[in-house]
Amino acid sequence: MLTAAIWPSLDYSRVPYRLYHDPEAYQREQEGVFRGPTWNFLGLEAEIPNPGDFRTTYVGDTPVIVNRDANGTIHALVNRCAHRGAMVRREMSGNASEHTCIYHQWCYGLDGRLHSIPFRRGIRGKGGLDPGFDMAAHGLRKLQVGSVNGALFGTLADDVEPLEDYLGPPVLAQLRRLFERPVTILGYNRQRIRANWKLYAENTRDNYHASLLHEFLVTFGLDRSTQVGGVKMDARHRHNITWAEAESDTAELAQEAYGAAQVRSNYLSLKEPELVRFRRERADALNIAITSVFPSAVFVQISNSLAVRQIRPRGVDEVEIFQTMLGYADDPPDLTLHRLRQANLVGPAGLVSMEDGEAIEIAHRGSKPDCEDTTVIELGGAGVISDRDYRVTDVPLRGFWSYYAELLGIEPAGAVR
């Protein structure tokens, strides 16, 4: 039984490996985190532009349909027939006027209401359902849905703070920045990593690893820890923005900080340096903005590549990273091409992201045998959880665990938040 006693410290600078491996933790996360008072990324309005358009997705393990009804209203429905629990929609995406379960053809409207049941009255007065059967009580379960400029979030909880309050001003500002204009979908990519989902959630909040693990960043001059940057969180420290500004350091500073052996000064030595060239698109100078929204969404700008990642737990030992690559609907063709080229940087084959798959797999494998041992999370100091205006830090990981502990009901008395 997981209890608050699991934590060796009150600042989450030590996390027991057990939390990545224990099936009980996984089950309690499904209840406390994914079906708890959180807002989960569902997809984009741009993916279902027309009445009847639907996509299927997940909130934790729960299968979900997101669709637009004839009036243009967006609904999110648990993809599970009220009759026998079968998934009603089997396709990834499509257009439909209703959702019919193939098993016994129970038929639901796009708002989730149960429309019809075959042989409801039986045949020649025999069989069928009792006359008192309540159709209205047997629809598809509805999620509350919220949107930030077309980025859709849903929650399975009845009692939850409004989406904008949940995100908080810094994250809200980042999402409004990313979705300031209508987006277009450039494509999808998927990756199955043999590691617990929380190792990936931590990875996206870990500024410390970026230029060490992803050597491409430094070797080819895309990003260095010496650039002006840092981490910024919401008031509850459950979300995080990892940010950096382009051209905000000097080669001399980088040499001094990394040591001559580490910076190989191959800047712009690529045959096609456009791959790493940042085209400034806005008044701000941000060329790295990675916004992690608790529990399972990551909004990514790396140079001019734009994406949303959905972290989909697939059991305690596996996670799917489902990434949607974005551009803007009004991008000129040369900018679309630039984004498609810079998509080489991210995803399962990404020049600055492929390493994450390996790093969290070895962390998962290495930690499994000794579940009572712990990680060390102290870069940027232990104790208080707060924003940092420097990059060699992993403080936001402690914010993640703090909120996680609260949701699982294992927050120790006197713990930092």
**Sites of contact with another protein (CB under 8 A):** 92, 185-194, 213, 215-216, 219-220, 264, 266, 270-272, 275, 320, 325, 336-337, 340-341, 343-344, 347-349, 351, 354-358, 361
Q: Which residue's CB is nearer to another protein, number 279 or number 341? A: 341
Could you give the count of Cα atoms lying within 13 Å of 362 in the half-sphere of its Cβ?
5
Q: Which residue's CB is nearer to another protein, number 272 or number 330? A: 272
Min separation Cβ 289 and another protein, Å: 19
Six-digit token string for 12: 């989450």
How many other C-beta atoms lie within 10 A of the C-beta of residue 49? 11
DSSP line for 234-290 = -TTS-SEEEEEETT-S-HHHHHHHH-TTT----TT-SSSGGGG-----SSS-EEEEE
Min separation Cβ 188 and another protein, Å: 6
Q: Which residue's CB is nearer to another protein, number 107 or number 213? A: 213
Chain-centroid distance, C-alpha 158: 22
Q: Which residue's CB is nearer to another protein, number 30 or number 344? A: 344
Chain-centroid distance, C-alpha 69: 26
Min separation Cβ 357 and another protein, Å: 4
Q: What are phi and psi of 27, to 5 degrees?
A: -65, -40
By the 8 A CB rule, do 6 and 12 touch? no
Min separation Cβ 358 and another protein, Å: 5
CA dist., res. 338 & res. 126, Å (int): 66
Query: Which residue type does 79 have?
Result: N
CA dist., res. 405 & res. 401, Å (int): 6
By the 8 A CB rule, do 14 and 365 touch? no
Q: Which residue's CB is nearer to another protein, number 337 or number 384? A: 337
CA dist., res. 299 & res. 312, Å (int): 15
Identify which of 39, 22, 21 has the alpha carbon closest to the alpha carbon of residue 403: 39
Q: What are phi and psi of 204, to 5 degrees?
A: -75, -15
Q: Which residue's CB is nearer to another protein, number 259 or number 414? A: 259
Spell out where 69-113 has E strands.
Answer: 74-78, 93-95, 99-100, 107-108
Q: Which residue's CB is nearer to another protein, number 320 or number 406? A: 320
Min separation Cβ 307 and another protein, Å: 9
Min separation Cβ 213 and another protein, Å: 7
Min separation Cβ 308 and another protein, Å: 13
Q: Which residue's CB is nearer to another protein, number 121 or number 365? A: 365
Min separation Cβ 324 and another protein, Å: 9
Q: Which residue's CB is nearer to another protein, number 233 or number 325? A: 325
Q: Which residue's CB is nearer to another protein, number 24 or number 274? A: 274
Min separation Cβ 93 and another protein, Å: 8
By the 8 A CB rule, do 371 and 357 touch? no
b or e along 270-303 (b: 16 or more beta carbons within 10 Å of the residue's beta carbon)?
Answer: eeeeebbbbeeeeeeebbbbbbbbbbbbbbbbbb
Min separation Cβ 314 and another protein, Å: 10
